[in-house]
Structure 1
Amino acid sequence: MSSLFPALAAGSNRQALRFGDRSLTHAELAAAAGVTAGRLRGAERVAVWATATLETAVGVVGALLAGVPAVPLNPRTGARELEHIVADSAPSRVLAAPGDRLPPVLDALERVDVDVRATGGAPLPPEPPAGSPALVVYTSGTTGPPKGAVLPRRAITATLDALADAWGWTG
């Protein structure tokens, strides 16, 4: 099984992410996510205001680099369901794009604005063990309150490796 972030460690100037007309190279992603990871030290879990933006991607990668499980929060989730998810997962911080308006249920959390152009962070930390939690993803809650499914790093890595094999992805 491979590392979750081999391309980040290499730090190339090849494009890593694109959202609309905004993009980051592997080196830029490594720098911005590294700075974000440094801001997450000591957190047990972090919520991520999950919008289709570079900030969300950098936030999740930063959390994974820091070894802190990320709890994605869908902005379309209703207030009652969102309250349940936040109470159940107990994140200490919320990652968001600067300027994002967050619902009141997140007011008690320390807000970390993700800067996709941040530079100057420490070197990338060693990867946590493969069995460490990576994501806590909540079910739709159709038969009751949503339940958090804890996805370990090895599951994310295995899924990405399988997709790369199935779809013939190359560097």
Structure 2
Amino acid sequence: MADQFTHFDASGKARMVDVGGKDATERRATAAGRISMSRQAYGIVRAGTVKKGDVLGVARIAGIMAAKKVDQLIPLCHPLAITGVEIDFSYDDARCAIEIRATVAITGRTGVEMEALTAVSIAALTIYDMCKAVDKTMVMSDIRLLRKSGGKSGLFVSPAAACYTDDAEHENHLVGE
């Protein structure tokens, strides 16, 4: 088990990985997810008329805050001095869904995949919280790592990232600030 999972020692006990000997490098991770909702709720979010306020603005702030607190939420994650977090949203009219994409950056000794994944998750939960009065059937799905770079393992690009191969095209579909 210790060969495959770094968070266990040779006897199978949980441990926080010692990253003290690693070089500090630029690291970046991008995660994505989606929240699908009823046509009615989707229309209200898209029109910006949710009674609680700016749904995507609040979800963006919640996701950024979550990325900074991952070590307090996931037991074996390191506290990190994150250097940047970007959260973007795009509308998927065909699915009545909001696509969420988070990118987290750091110059450090460990990656920021968990921070990007957590940012997406909390942004989706925030959207749910703000819209649940209209639709309790919303579904959060497809939360996944799209890309990570830096560190000893280098570049990872998920096959799921195919929908984001053209960043310029993606940027054209982003919801405004």
Normalising by structure 2, we get a TM-score of 0.27
Query: 1 or 2, which has the higher strand percentage?
Result: 2
Normalising by structure 1, we get a TM-score of 0.27
Greater relative contact order structure (CA < 8 Å, 6+ sep) = 2
Which of the two has higher C-alpha Rg?
2
